[in-house]
A and B are shown apart, each in its own frame.
Chain A
């Protein structure tokens, strides 16, 4: 076992390398495992009938015609499952008195949004199921739709849910004066030298992951095997058990290849519950796959907030207070974390600034629209938009340069760790460094000079420059913090590592990917930690049988929480291996050093043993220390002590044709500080994609409803995610302020681009148009809206 070989050479660290992804091989060759690819012997196909009414009572449903259609095996309505379907779960009762009227998967007596499911058909083929939908006859008694949040909470408003007394679900308040984390906002408002108040509209967005959701449920004995296109196999398992009364140990959930999520695949869905109900009722495997139109209409939406924000300051630009009141549209029902989404934003309105007094009030409101829940950033993009927009408005009011106003108020790098007015402790950051780098990269001064020149000569194409100096909270989340916010679960993550007899390594993680590159990044971490080759490491995820413990993927948590669990598991492996090594080398553990996958005796370079040899020794178990269990493996669960706080400076230059209103992004520069990057290539890709979605909110996307409550942007023709031709190439760069609260110094990058970019673009648009008297443009800033803003500004 003791090899006499060359001393181990220290391999080049994997962390920091732009490794090409392990995940790609099957994705670029079409050897994929999307849920809809699955076919199981005897499998039935489901199609669902969705309400065409925004708000109505169901008078009658006649399914007899549909049952006669060829290939149809069964048809069910809400009445058939009224006693067994439970409610689509909501895990975040944000206040003790939050009103949750319940959410049936199949409507029983009333429909509350267009797209709500009223019947389900099981048939031998998908087309047979879909063809039979037209033979279901539903009679509705219309109720007035509830579409506008302010109307919804006015006196005498039509109630969305008959079993409630108001359309307000909850009011959640944070006040730094009463929390003891800052001053009283009323004092700041009363004594303000300057007050700026704005209303911003966070339009409704649709996550629009590319893979439509799909679920295959196979009854297995008393239990079920569920394959689903989900971000949350573990939470889904627990929730299906709780909702349907199936013993949790009899529920196995697999998330195979999942084609994007962006929060859109976080909730437990009515479709997952219905597929499970039907499969169990019929004793047959069942598959449901939504169409794109169904997905846009009834997979949850995001944002949908009205933000009233007031900032107070001294004449010299020192901010003295911030007062925020949100109306947050829950849609018709409370989804898994829907009520908590705006609350995640509550801690981010103060952003990177030293704000002495802060109040946040959020009213969660029911409307007869598609339910809302997390969409990339979840509360934090909304907060960042509002603060970064109003910083520009305050600068304009004060006659200050907007960057100077930010510099004057932000936390200086030498002031970290810094406890904010919300009580969060930002561990690290360097806003000056990121900003200076970004300004240089974009050529800010030259652009300002060009802008002045174009303004002077009244060029029809005007230049606007926008700033967003953002931060966010990532790594969701310390369990005790989630507990204090009344979330129903914790925020830990689990990992286990098995070193196999041949020295190859299996790493099991509870955080499963849907495009983020976990297999590559986690392999890099383990390769460095254990000193084993990158290619010898297999990452196992997304199946509650093989990866039994986990809390899944959202909130930029996979690396900052899941990655640290892996580090801890690796350290436990090393700890056990060290005992074996000491035994085999007949040395004291204290005399051993572990480097590049090999233990050696300090000062005795020829006396060494590799991790691979130790793995075999623990497998054979012929010669282990007394009392030691065979096998070389470990299990670790990590609960973060703090969030992580990525930040960055994003700068955007837009050209606006003032005659047509067309906005063109001419240059976009971002310098992000996400701590230590594990794989810079993946980091850059995450930033690019995030930028595209944030820019899409600023310029392109909106879920629009007509007066009857119909979604009028229900296809990709109308809901217009940007194509390659709509976007520029971005200039991305980094500064590195490692997180001080985890051993990798990582922070998370999944949401940064989306959070930062929306205000950068709109600030640029408003900056271009300020000489026209424009102080805001509603999102998306379409050519029509920009043109009208110019026309109205010119009149005022």
Chain B
């Protein structure tokens, strides 16, 4: 077992983990952050995407020990303390960008990262930017709309 210190959604954790433990399993099974989900076992679907030190990562492709000393933001820590939604969460709601909602945590985290890299993406750039995240329900059209809306909201705020 290896000791790690990691801050997740503003709370500091000190935990023992097996060296092979993936970050997503640490989040879900050791500290109860079940808002982040597992959709595949080949790092294709992106459902487990979280923010690791300011960059989105598929948390199934990071070992928990690699997150030692890091700060992780998951979908559960995205809204403000008073419950105000992050602009991307709000945009997903406003644009009906989710149906079953299983891909949504990862999709929101990936889309948020996309706008941090490129605040004003074209439709094609959005589609390419989220191609590492699979959705089986929406056909992506409303997700694209949501990202466009969030981009506009961030620009005007």
Provide a sorted-by-A list of 13 A–B residue pairs whose CB atoms are within 8 angstroms.
A34-B34, A34-B37, A36-B37, A126-B29, A211-B39, A212-B38, A260-B99, A260-B137, A516-B99, A684-B96, A715-B42, A716-B42, A729-B141
Q: Please state if B102 and A259 are interface contacts (CB–CB under 8 Å).
A: yes
A693 to chain B, nearest CB (A): 8
Q: CB-CB < 8 A to A291: which residues of B? A: 41
A27 to B137, CA, bound (A): 14
Interface bits A22-51 vs B (CB < 8 Å: 1, else 0):
011101111110101100000000000000
Instruction: Determine the residue in chain A with the shortest Cβ distance to B134.
Output: A721
Whether A682 contacts B96 in the complex (CB less than 8 A), given A29-B35, A210-B103, comes out as yes
* Contact residues, B50-103 vs A (CB, 8 A): 74-76, 78-79, 85, 89, 92-94, 96, 98-103
Q: Please state if A727 and B93 are interface contacts (CB–CB under 8 Å).
A: no
* Contact residues, A698-749 vs B (CB, 8 A): 715-717, 721, 723-727, 729-730
Interface bits A682-698 vs B (CB < 8 Å: 1, else 0):
10111011111100000
Q: CB-CB < 8 A to A127: which residues of B? A: 18
- Those 4 A-B pairs whose CB atoms lie nearest each other, nearest first: A30-B35, A27-B101, A259-B102, A515-B100
Q: Please state if B98 and A24 are interface contacts (CB–CB under 8 Å).
A: yes
Residue of B29, B35, B131 touching A723 (CB-CB under 8 A): B131
Q: Please state if A292 and B41 are interface contacts (CB–CB under 8 Å).
A: yes
A730 to B105, CA, bound (A): 25
Residue B6 lies at the interface, judged by CB distance under 8 Å to chain A = no
Q: Please state if A209 and B96 are interface contacts (CB–CB under 8 Å).
A: no
Residue A514 lies at the interface, judged by CB distance under 8 Å to chain B = yes
Q: Please state if B136 and A20 are interface contacts (CB–CB under 8 Å).
A: no
* Contact residues, A665-697 vs B (CB, 8 A): 681-682, 684-686, 688-693
Q: Please state if A723 and B98 are interface contacts (CB–CB under 8 Å).
A: no
Q: CB-CB < 8 A to A727: which residues of B? A: 127, 139-141
Residue B23 lies at the interface, judged by CB distance under 8 Å to chain A = no
A210 to B35, CA, bound (A): 15
Q: Which of A29, A681, A716, A730 has the most CB of B within 10 A?
A: A29
Q: CB-CB < 8 A to B40: which residues of A? A: 292, 715-716
Whether A692 contacts B76 in the complex (CB less than 8 A), given A32-B34, A34-B102, comes out as no
Instruction: Determine the residue in chain A with the shortest Cβ distance to B9.
Output: A30
Residue A258 lies at the interface, judged by CB distance under 8 Å to chain B = yes
Q: CB-CB < 8 A to B134: which residues of A? A: 210, 716, 721, 723
Q: Please state if A32 and B101 are interface contacts (CB–CB under 8 Å).
A: yes
Residue of B93, B136, B139 touching A210 (CB-CB under 8 A): B136
Whether A724 contacts B78 in the complex (CB less than 8 A), given A28-B98, A31-B35, comes out as no
Q: Which of B18, B74, B134 has the most CB of A within 10 A?
A: B134
Q: Please state if A724 and B140 are interface contacts (CB–CB under 8 Å).
A: yes
Residue of A210, A293, A693, A715 touching B100 (CB-CB under 8 A): A210
Q: Please state if B44 and A716 are interface contacts (CB–CB under 8 Å).
A: yes
Q: CB-CB < 8 A to B143: which residues of A? A: 724
Residue A116 lies at the interface, judged by CB distance under 8 Å to chain B = no
Residues of chain A touching chain B, judged by Cβ–Cβ distance below 8 Å, are 20-21, 23-25, 27-32, 34, 36-37, 126-127, 208-212, 257-260, 262, 291-293, 514-517, 681-682, 684-686, 688-693, 715-717, 721, 723-727, 729-730, 753
Residue B151 lies at the interface, judged by CB distance under 8 Å to chain A = no
A210 to B44, CA, bound (A): 12
A53 to B105, CA, bound (A): 37
A661 to chain B, nearest CB (A): 21
Residue B142 lies at the interface, judged by CB distance under 8 Å to chain A = yes
Interface size of B by CB at 8 A reads 55
Q: CB-CB < 8 A to B29: which residues of A? A: 126
Q: Please state if B34 and A729 are interface contacts (CB–CB under 8 Å).
A: no
Q: Please state if A210 and B126 are interface contacts (CB–CB under 8 Å).
A: no
Q: Please state if A692 and B96 are interface contacts (CB–CB under 8 Å).
A: no
Instruction: Determine the residue in chain A with the shortest Cβ distance to B35.
Output: A30
Q: CB-CB < 8 A to B38: which residues of A? A: 36, 212
A635 to chain B, nearest CB (A): 29
Whether A691 contacts B139 in the complex (CB less than 8 A), given A28-B101, A29-B79, comes out as yes
Whether A27 contacts B98 in the complex (CB less than 8 A), given A688-B141, A688-B142, comes out as yes
A28 to B78, CA, bound (A): 10
A413 to chain B, nearest CB (A): 29
A684 to B142, CA, bound (A): 9
Q: CB-CB < 8 A to B44: which residues of A? A: 715-717
A270 to chain B, nearest CB (A): 20
Q: CB-CB < 8 A to A681: which residues of B? A: 96
Q: Please state if B76 and A20 are interface contacts (CB–CB under 8 Å).
A: no
Additional A-B contact list (4), CB under 8 Å, known A126-B29, A208-B136, A727-B141 = A212-B38, A723-B131, A724-B130, A727-B139
Residue of B34, B78, B126, B137 touching A37 (CB-CB under 8 A): B34
B133 to chain A, nearest CB (A): 8
Whether A260 contacts B102 in the complex (CB less than 8 A), given A685-B142, A715-B44, A727-B140, comes out as yes
B103 to chain A, nearest CB (A): 5
Q: Please state if A515 and B79 are interface contacts (CB–CB under 8 Å).
A: no
Q: CB-CB < 8 A to B85: which residues of A? A: 28-29
A715 to B60, CA, bound (A): 15
A161 to B37, CA, bound (A): 39
Q: CB-CB < 8 A to A20: which residues of B? A: 93-94, 96
A722 to B37, CA, bound (A): 20
A262 to B45, CA, bound (A): 18
A28 to B75, CA, bound (A): 7
A212 to B134, CA, bound (A): 14
Q: Please state if B41 and A293 are interface contacts (CB–CB under 8 Å).
A: yes
Q: Please state if A30 and B105 are interface contacts (CB–CB under 8 Å).
A: yes
A689 to B97, CA, bound (A): 11
A516 to B142, CA, bound (A): 15
Residue of A211, A685, A753 touching B96 (CB-CB under 8 A): A685
A515 to B135, CA, bound (A): 12
Q: CB-CB < 8 A to A726: which residues of B? A: 131
A39 to chain B, nearest CB (A): 8
Q: Please state if A24 and B101 are interface contacts (CB–CB under 8 Å).
A: yes
A37 to B131, CA, bound (A): 26
B53 to chain A, nearest CB (A): 20
Q: CB-CB < 8 A to A208: which residues of B? A: 136
A166 to chain B, nearest CB (A): 37
A32 to B100, CA, bound (A): 11
Instruction: Determine the residue in chain A with the shortest Cβ distance to B34.
Output: A37
A18 to chain B, nearest CB (A): 8
Instruction: Determine the residue in chain A with the shortest Cβ distance to B46.
Output: A723
* Contact residues, B122-152 vs A (CB, 8 A): 123, 126-128, 130-144
Q: Please state if B102 and A730 are interface contacts (CB–CB under 8 Å).
A: no
Residue of B41, B99, B108, B144 touching A28 (CB-CB under 8 A): B108
Whether A30 contacts B96 in the complex (CB less than 8 A), given A293-B41, A715-B40, A717-B44, comes out as no
Instruction: Determine the residue in chain B with the shortest Cβ distance to A45.
Output: B29
Q: Please state if B135 and A210 are interface contacts (CB–CB under 8 Å).
A: yes
